[in-house]
Amino acid sequence: MNPMEQEVRVGIERAAAVGGSAINLRGKRRFGEHIIETIVFICGALSIFTTTAIVIVLFQEAWMFFGSPEVNLTEFFGTTTWQPETGRFGIWPLMTSTLLTSFIALLVAVPLGLGAAIYLSEYASPTARGYLKPILEVLAGVPTVVYGYFALTFVTPVILQGLLGKERVEIYNMLSAGLTMGIMILPLVASMSEDALSAVPRSLREGSYGLGATRLETSVRVVVPAALSGILAAVIVAMSRAVGETMIVALAAGAGPRFTFNPLQAAETMTGHIARISGGDISYASIQYTSIFAIALVLFFMTLLLNLLSGWVVRRFREVYE
Amino acid sequence: MSTTVNPGNRPTGYLPEGADINRNIAARRLRGKVWQAFFLSSLIIGLLALATLLYTIVDDSFGYIAVQTKIDPEKLSDRPLEELSKEELIEILRANISPGLFRRFDRDEPFSERSKESVLQLIEERVIGREVVAAYKLTESLLERDRIEATVRERFPRAELEFHSWINREFLTRPMSSSPILAGVGNAILGSLWVIAITMLLAIPIGILGGVYLEEYASDTWYYRLIETNINNLAGVPSIIYGILGLAVFVRALEALTSGATFGVTDSNGRTILSAGLTMALLVLPLMIINAREAIRAVPQSIRQASYGLGATKWQTVWHHVLPNALPGILTGTILSMSRAMGETAPLIVVGASTFVVFFPDSVFDKFTVIPIQIYNWTQQPGAQFRSIAAAAIIVLLVTLLLLNATAILLRNRFKRSY
C-alpha cells in the first residue's frame, strides 16, 4: 500500500466517522421547526376563535334578551311592532325593511351587473376590458358611508323627489337606500359574473359560431348557461352583502322602525337599528342593549345561510371543462 | 339550430327557405344589436353612477359663501390684528365684550398665561364673529353668479360673497368643531392612522402566517377543512357583526385592558383606539389570510422542491424562498385590506367612536374619531354647510384610498414575476 492510497483511506474513514455522528438523515427534526409549526397553526386557527366568539357573544346576550320577562319568542317572531320604550319587540318591521331594501338593490344590480359582465366578457375588446373593468372596480372600493352621503344628497332630492314629487317621497326612504345599494353591489355582481363567463372555454363559443349562431345567441344560450353556477353564486353573495350593509341604510332609509311595504316611506332596517342604538350611550344592563344582540343573531344567521348557499351552488352546479 | 333561435312560434323542425332566410338572419341580427345596446348601457350606467357620485362630491366641496361679521375688523384697529401685541389685543377684547364674559375667560385661563394666538382666536370668535350666512354649490356659483349676488345683497346686505374651497389646509389640520366653517378633520385623520396602525400590526403577521399554515403546513384533515370553510365564511360576515363582537369582547369584557386601567390610565372607558384597532384586525384578518394564500399558491412548486433538494427544512424553505417570492402579492393584499379598514364605518360606530372629539389622540387609550365617522356625522346634520364639509372629508378619504390602491397596483406591476 503506497502512502497515497493510505492517505485516501484514512480520509474516507474520517469522513465516515464525522458524517455518521453529525449528518443523520433519519434523525429527529429540529426542535425549532416544531415551535414554528405550532405558531403557524395557531395563526390559522385564530379564525376559529373569531367565529366561536361571535357565536358565543351573540347567543349569550340574546339568551339574556329572551330570558327577560318582557320578551318571548312568539312575540319576537310573531308581532309587527318594535318599540323598546314600551317593551314591544316584534322583529318584523326591521326584517321587512331589510328585505325590501335588499330586494330593490338586487333589482338594480342583477340585470345591470349581468349586462355589464356579458358586455365585458363577450363584446368588449381586450384593451377596452383592460380599462373598463378596473374603473368598474373603483366603484366597489368606494366606502359605503360615501354611498350613504350620495343617497341622501343626490338620489333622494334630485332623482326621486325630482321625478315623483316632493310630497310623495319622504326625505328618508327605502327606495333611495335600495337604489344606491344596488349601485354599490353592481360592480360585485359584474366582476364575479365576468370571471365566471371568462372561464368558459373558447371552444364552446367557436362551436356555437360554427353552427351559425350570432354573438347574442352564443352569449345567452351557450356561455351564460355554462357559467350559471358562478353567476348564481355572485347573486347570492350580492344579496348577503345587501342584507348586511349598514351605512347606506343608516343614513338614507330612516331612523325609526316602521312596518310598511311602501318603498317611498322611511323605515329602519336591522343594521340601521343596531348602528343607531349602539351609537348612543346605552347602559349595558338595559334590555335595549341585549336586544341589538338578538337582532345581530338573526342577521348573522341570514348572511351565514346565504354564504353557505353560494358555496353549495358553486360546488353543485359547476360545469368542469378540460 | 335555427329552430331554437327563430323568433315567433313556428313549428319545431322548420327551416327557413328562400326569402325567409334573409328575413330570419336580419331579425336575429337586429335582436343582437338591441341586446348589445342593453349590455353596453348597463356598463355605462355603472360608470355614469361613478361619475355622478364624484360630481356630487366636488359640487358640494367648492362654491360661494356669504360671510357676515358682527364688526368690521378694520374698525377695531388701524393696523392688521396679527401685527398687534398681546396687550393691545387684550384691550380690544375687553372693549368689545361684556365685562362678565371677559372675567369668565380670565377665570378659565388667566389672560397673563394665554398665548397671543389664543387671545386672537377669542377676538375672532367673540368680537368679529365671522359667520357663514349662505353657502352655494359649485355649479350654481359658476352658472348663476348674478342671481347669487342679487340674493345675497338683498337678504344679507352686510355680508360679503367669497369663493370658498371647503377643503383647505385649515380643514386638514383643525379638530372637530360645532361650527362648519371652523371644523376640520385633523384629529380624525390622526385617529384613522392610530386605528390602522394597530390593525395592521396584528393583522399582517397573523394573516401571513395563517396563509402559510393553510398552504404549506396543513394536510387534508378535518380541522384543515374546518378552518378553510370558516375563513371563507368569515369574509362574508357583515362588518356590523364584527362591531357587535368588539363591543361585547373588547369594550365590555376586556374593559380593564382596553381602557388602560391595568396600565394606570383612569380617565377613559373601553371605547378606545385600542378596542377599535383590535376589532378592525379581526375584520381584515380573513381578507389578509385569503390574499396571502393566493400569493403563496402562485409560487411554483419547483422552487420549493429545489430548496428541499438542497437539504433545507420546511421553515427554511418557507422563509427563504416561498415568502420572498410571494411578497409582492402579499403586499398588494395588505394594502387592499388596509384600504378596506380605512373606509369601514359601521363596526366603529358600534364599538363607540365618539362623533364629537376636539382633542388630538396621543395614546391608544384615548377616545377617538376617524374620517368615515366624521363623514357619517356631518351627513346626518341638517344644513348645506355640513354637507359641504362632509363632501370635503369624503375627498380626503377617497384621495387617501386612491393613493393606497395606486401603490398596490404599482407594486403588483413592478414586482410581477412570471415563471
Q: What are B310-341's pLDDT values in tens digits?
A: 988 889 999 999 999 998 889 888 988 999 89
B278 found inside a domain:
yes
* Residues B101 and B224 both lie in one domain: no
Q: E-strand spans in B30-128?
A: 62-68
B173 found inside a domain:
no
* Residues B132 and B276 both lie in one domain: no
* Residues B229 and B285 both lie in one domain: yes
Does any CB of chain B come closer than 8 Å to the CB of residue A291?
A: no
B17 found inside a domain:
no
Residues 53-112 of B with CB under 8 A from A: 53, 56-57, 60
Does any CB of chain B come closer than 8 Å to the CB of residue A30?
A: yes
On the CB side of B409, CA atoms within 13 Å amount to 9
Residue B360 has pLDDT above 90, yes or no: no
Last residue of a domain, one of B98, B133, B166: B166
The side-by-side arrangement of strands in the sheet containing B160-165 is B131-135, B62-68, B160-165
Phi/psi for B110 (5° steps) reads: -55, 140
Last residue of a domain, one of B166, B201, B229: B166
Please give the ipTM for the structure prediction: 0.86
> Is residue B351 classed exposed, middle or buried when 0-12, 13-18 and 19+ CB atoms within 10 A define those classes?
buried
Contact A145 B47 (CB under 8 A): no
B178 found inside a domain:
no
Does residue B163 sit in helix, strand or coil?
strand
Question: In terms of DSSP bridges, do strands A82-83 and A88-89 run parallel, antiparallel, or are they unpaired?
Answer: antiparallel
Report which listed range, B14-18, B343-347, B406-410, is most confident.
Answer: B343-347
Please list every residue in chain A whose beta carbon sits closer than 8 Å to the beta carbon of residue B207: 43
Q: Are B245 and B348 in contact (CB under 8 A)?
A: no
Tell me which residue in B52, B214, B387 faces A44 most closely, judged by beta carbons: B214
Question: Which cell numbers hold the place of A135?
Answer: 374603473
Residues 316-335 of B with CB under 8 A from A: none
pLDDT score for A210? 93
pLDDT score for A12? 61
Contacts with A176 (C-beta within 8 Å, 6 or more apart), sequence order? A151, A152, A155, A156, A159, A160, A169, A252, A253
* Residues B95 and B243 both lie in one domain: no
**Helical pair B384-415 and B371-380, crossing angle rounded to 10 deg:** 150
Residue B408 structural domain = 185-418
Which has the higher per-residue pLDDT, B201 or B109?
B201
Last residue of a domain, one of B138, B166, B194: B166
- Confidence band of B6 (pLDDT split at 50, 70, 90): very low
The pLDDT mean for chain B works out to: 84
B100 found inside a domain:
yes
User: If residue B256 lies in a helix (H) or strand (E), which one and from where to where?
Assistant: helix B255-258
Question: Which cell numbers hold the place of A272?
Answer: 340601521
Q: Are A111 and A189 in contact (CB under 8 A)?
A: no
* Residues B281 and B354 both lie in one domain: yes
Phi/psi for A140 (5° steps) reads: -75, -20
Taking CB atoms and an 8 Å cut-off, how many pairs form between chains A and B?
Answer: 264
Question: How many C-beta neighbours within 10 Å does residue B45 have?
Answer: 16
* Number of folded domains that form chain B: 2
Give residue for cell 367648492: B62
Does any CB of chain B come closer than 8 Å to the CB of residue A33?
A: yes
B72 found inside a domain:
yes
> Is residue B140 classed exposed, middle or buried when 0-12, 13-18 and 19+ CB atoms within 10 A define those classes?
middle
Contact B248 A293 (CB under 8 A): yes
**Residues β-bridged to residue B134:** B66
Contact A143 B47 (CB under 8 A): no
For testing the chain A interface, which of B28, B42, B271, B338 should be mutated: the one with the most A CBs within 10 Å? B42
Q: Are B61 and A130 in contact (CB under 8 A)?
A: no
B6 found inside a domain:
no
* Residues B106 and B239 both lie in one domain: no
Rounded Cα–Cα distance for residues B21 and B16 (Å): 5
pLDDT score for A99? 94
pLDDT score for B355? 66
Contact A271 B346 (CB under 8 A): yes
- Confidence band of B5 (pLDDT split at 50, 70, 90): very low
Eight-state DSSP code of residue A28: P
For testing the chain A interface, which of B244, B294, B344, B413 should be mutated: the one with the most A CBs within 10 Å? B244
User: Tell me, what CATH number does B237's domain have?
Assistant: 1.10.3720.10
Rounded Cα–Cα distance for residues B223 and A36 (Å): 18
Nearest-Cα distance to chain A for B226, in Å, is 8
Tens place of pLDDT per residue across chain A (322 aa): 566 666 666 666 665 555 545 555 555 667 788 888 899 999 888 888 889 999 999 999 888 888 888 788 888 888 888 887 777 888 899 999 999 999 999 999 999 999 999 999 999 998 998 888 888 878 888 999 999 999 999 998 888 888 888 888 888 999 999 999 999 999 999 999 999 999 999 999 999 999 989 999 999 999 999 999 999 999 999 999 999 999 999 999 888 888 888 888 889 999 999 998 887 777 777 888 888 899 999 999 999 999 888 888 888 887 776 5
Q: E-strand spans in B44-117?
A: 62-68
pLDDT score for A13? 64
Contact A132 B247 (CB under 8 A): no
Nearest CA in chain A to B253: A57
Question: How many C-beta neighbours within 10 Å does residue B263 have?
Answer: 11
Q: Are A162 and A237 in contact (CB under 8 A)?
A: no
* Residues B141 and B250 both lie in one domain: no
Nearest-Cα distance to chain A for B245, in Å, is 6
pLDDT score for B4? 47
* Residues B151 and B228 both lie in one domain: no
Rounded Cα–Cα distance for residues B57 and B399 (Å): 12
Nearest to B243 by CA among B279, B281, B287: B279
Does any CB of chain A come closer than 8 Å to the CB of residue B38?
A: yes
Q: Are A177 and B375 in contact (CB under 8 A)?
A: no
Give residue for cell 365671522: B130
B250 found inside a domain:
yes
Lowest mean pLDDT among B8-22, B38-52, B324-338, B390-404: B8-22
Does any CB of chain A come closer than 8 Å to the CB of residue B412?
A: no
Contacts with B70 (C-beta within 8 Å, 6 or more apart), sequence order? B127, B128, B129, B131
Question: How many C-beta neighbours within 10 Å does residue A284 have?
Answer: 12
* Residues B238 and B381 both lie in one domain: yes
DSSP per-residue codes, B318-381: IIIIIHHHHHHHHHHHHHHHHHHHHH--HHHHHHT--S---SPP-STTS----HHHHHHHHHHS
Residue B12 has pLDDT above 90, yes or no: no
Residue type, B258: T
* Residues B91 and B129 both lie in one domain: yes
pLDDT score for B13? 64
Q: Are B93 and B102 in contact (CB under 8 A)?
A: yes
Contacts with B27 (C-beta within 8 Å, 6 or more apart), sequence order? B7
pLDDT cut 70: percent of chain B above it: 95
* Residues B152 and B240 both lie in one domain: no
* Residues B136 and B194 both lie in one domain: no
Eight-state DSSP code of residue A85: G
Residue B152 has pLDDT above 60, yes or no: yes
Residue type, B383: G
- Confidence band of B417 (pLDDT split at 50, 70, 90): low
pLDDT score for A223? 94
Eight-state DSSP code of residue B180: G
Which has the higher per-residue pLDDT, A6 or B198?
B198
Nearest to A171 by CA among A188, A154, A183, A185: A154
Does residue B165 sit in helix, strand or coil?
strand
Q: Are B345 and B373 in contact (CB under 8 A)?
A: yes
Lowest mean pLDDT among A53-57, B66-70, B278-282: B66-70
For testing the chain B interface, which of A23, A30, A36, A40 should be mutated: the one with the most B CBs within 10 Å? A40
Please list every residue in chain A whose beta carbon sits closer than 8 Å to the beta carbon of residue B31: 214, 216
Does any CB of chain A come closer than 8 Å to the CB of residue B375?
A: yes
